[in-house]
């Protein structure tokens, strides 16, 4: 991934936070000489291994798990907030007109060796962990134990677990850090006014951090 110096993100807490906030990752893997991509929600175990461990489950009917080689290296891409940036949002444009459209975004690329966990206990722990993570903001969080035990047992037989201890985490946060502070603020305000609050708030957080340096 091409990452200019301004947009490099090295803080592990920030990278792991982006994964937890955007758990639907794109698993990219080579199967029989062909690159394949799978959208899979992952649960991150941040304290397992140097950079954390990703766990997920897939349908037993999915041919992916049978096509994987032992300890095969894979890439998982997590996309955070993103949005189109209009040149009209830069106050500096009124002075020199030397601005063009761009796109701001946050992304994390995670790499590691994947293993298949065809084990009901592993899968139950994984779906319980992922469910707790996603249900936490709900007014009345749903729990796996809310469903009949026989139903859960049948569902567990239909899925297979996967696990990826992370060997590499690379992040890119393109939030206008290469622009003047007033231009970065103008873009953040433009995004918020447009209703694109997630990327706008990310830019405001970047601006606050930058202003405090």
pLDDT digits (tens, 9 = 90+) for 155-185: 999 999 999 999 999 999 999 999 999 999 9
| DSSP label of 167 | E
Report the alpha-carbon distance of residue 102 to residue 87 in Å, rounded: 8
Number of folded domains that form the chain: 1
Range of the domain at 153: 5-86+96-176
CA end-to-end span of the chain, whole Å? 27
Residue 137 lies in a domain: yes
82: domain CATH number is 2.30.110.10
Cβ atoms within 10 A of the Cβ of 92, count?
15
Count the residues in the chain. Answer: 213
Asked if residue 153 lies in contact with residue 121, where contact means CB atoms within 8 angstroms, the answer is no
Tens of pLDDT along 100-127? 999 999 999 999 999 999 999 999 999 9
**The overall pTM is greater than 0.85:** yes
């Amino acid at each position: 991934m091409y990452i200019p110096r301004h947009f490099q993100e090295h803080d592990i807490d920030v990278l792991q936070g982006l994964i937890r906030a955007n758990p639907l990752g794109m698993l990219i893997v080579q199967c029989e000489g062909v690159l394949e991509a799978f959208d899979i929600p992952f649960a991150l175990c941040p304290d397992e291994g140097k950079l954390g461990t990703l766990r997920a489950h897939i349908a037993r009917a999915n041919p992916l798990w049978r096509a994987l080689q032992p300890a095969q290296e894979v890439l998982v891409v997590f996309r955070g907030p993103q949005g189109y940036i209009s040149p009209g949002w830069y106050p500096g444009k009124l002075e020199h007109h030397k601005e063009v459209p761009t796109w701001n975004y946050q992304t994390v690329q995670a790499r590691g060796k994947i293993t298949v966990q065809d084990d009901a206990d592993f899968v139950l722990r994984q779906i319980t962990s992922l469910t707790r993570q996603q249900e936490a903001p709900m007014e009345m969080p749903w729990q796996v134990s809310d469903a009949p035990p026989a139903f859960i047992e049948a569902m567990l037989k239909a899925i297979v677990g996967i696990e990826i201890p992370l060997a590499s985490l690379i992040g890119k946060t393109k939030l206008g850090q290469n622009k003047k502070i007033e231009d970065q603020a103008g873009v953040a305000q433009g995004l918020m006014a447009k209703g694109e609050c997630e990327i706008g708030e990310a830019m405001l957080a970047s601006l606050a951090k930058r202003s405090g340096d």
